Amino acid sequence: MKLIFRLALTTIFLLGFAGIVSARVVRIWTYQELVEKSDLVVLASPVATNDTAEHINHPDFVGQPVIGVETRFAVAAVLKGDPALKEFTFHHYRTSTDGVIVPNGPMLVSFDPVERTTLRQRTFMLFLHREADGRYASVVGQSDPGGGIKELR
C-alpha cells in the first residue's frame, strides 16, 4: 500500500511541475560540423569591445531588443582560413538595457578584454563565418552564438 501511495504521489508531483517547465531546442554542433561550415577557425583573445549603432529587435526572437557589439580579437593561431590574419572584428549582440528578456530567448555571448598586463588573457577557439561587411560572426548564428565559441582553459 505504501508503495502505491508513494508512486501516486511521485506521479502527481512530476505531472504538476511538468506544466511549468519550458525550454527550446538548441542544436549542439559537432566539432567536425563547426570546422566544415566555418570560413575561419582561430585561437584568439579579445582586445577591445564596443557597441555599434545597431539597436534592433533580435532577428530570431520577436520582442527581444538587442544592441550590436563589435569585439576586436588578436589572433594567436589560424586553424582554418588566412594564416596571415593577425586581428579580426567579431560581430554579436547583447541585450538592451531596457530590461526586456524574452523567455527562452537567445543565449548571447560577451567578452571582457583584459586591460592590465598582470591578468591572464582569456583565449577562445572561434568557429566563424564572414559577413558581407567583412566582420565575422559565429558560424552557428546569432541566436546562440556560444555554440561556435569555446573558451580554452
What digits encode the pLDDT tens for the residues 68-117?
999 999 999 999 999 999 999 999 999 887 767 777 778 889 998 876 56
Residue 9 lies in a domain: no
Q: What are phi and psi of 14, to 5 degrees?
A: -65, -45
Residue 11 lies in a domain: no
Residue 22 lies in a domain: no
Residue 134 belongs to a domain with what CATH number?
2.40.50.120
Structural domain boundaries, residue 132: 29-152
Degrees to nearest 5, angle at CA 59 with 54 and 64? 80
Domain count, the chain: 1
Q: What is the pTM of this model?
A: 0.80
